Amino acid sequence: MNKPRLVVVAGVIEKQGNYFIAQRFDNASQGGLWEFPGGKIEVGETPSQALERELYEELAIRTVTGLWLADSVFDYGDKIVELKGYLSHWQQGEIQLNSHQQMAWVSLSQLGNYQFCAADYPIITALHDYIALKSHTEV
């Protein structure tokens, strides 16, 4: 039997130098692990539309999708996840945690203290690279 291949979008939201991360419910797939919020792309959606819809459903905030950070493919055994990571810019609303058991705002260096879903590590690397590049090009 072919394994399902899910195409999933995830958004990195920054506020005052910290990044939003959320912990999956213990009883979900990849339970208890941390992630960037997002979810599966539905038929007919662009990645940005899917991400803006998911962040509204999961966190009740309106966002605009920004720069693409990285794509990552990981085989979890029962399914293959193709994760697309983007920056997401918070526009409106206060965060309500509708789909996660915990949230945190953490600095770039603190991201290393959390155990993320395996597919997220290339996104975290791309975020580090992006921030390093940005700090070198800003005067």
Chain positions contacting ligand 8DG, by CB under 6 A? 6, 8, 10, 28-30, 35-40, 81, 83, 117, 119-120
Provide the minimum distance between the beta carbon of 40 and ligand 8DG in the complex, in angstroms, as a whole number: 5
Q: How far apart are CA 35 and CA 106, in angstroms?
A: 12
Measured from the CB atom, is 35 or 52 closer to ligand 8DG?
Answer: 35
Contact indicator for 35, 10 with CB cutoff of 8 Å: yes
Residues 6+ apart with CB under 8 A from 94: 60, 61
3-state secondary structure of 82: strand
Q: How far is the CB of 6 from ligand 8DG (least distance, A)?
A: 5
The minimum distance between CB 107 and ligand 8DG, in angstroms, equals 18
Indicate the residue among 13 and 137 with the shorter CB distance to ligand 8DG: 13
**Number of Cβ atoms within 10 Å of the Cβ of 136:** 8
- Residue 58 or 136 having the CB closest to ligand 8DG: 58
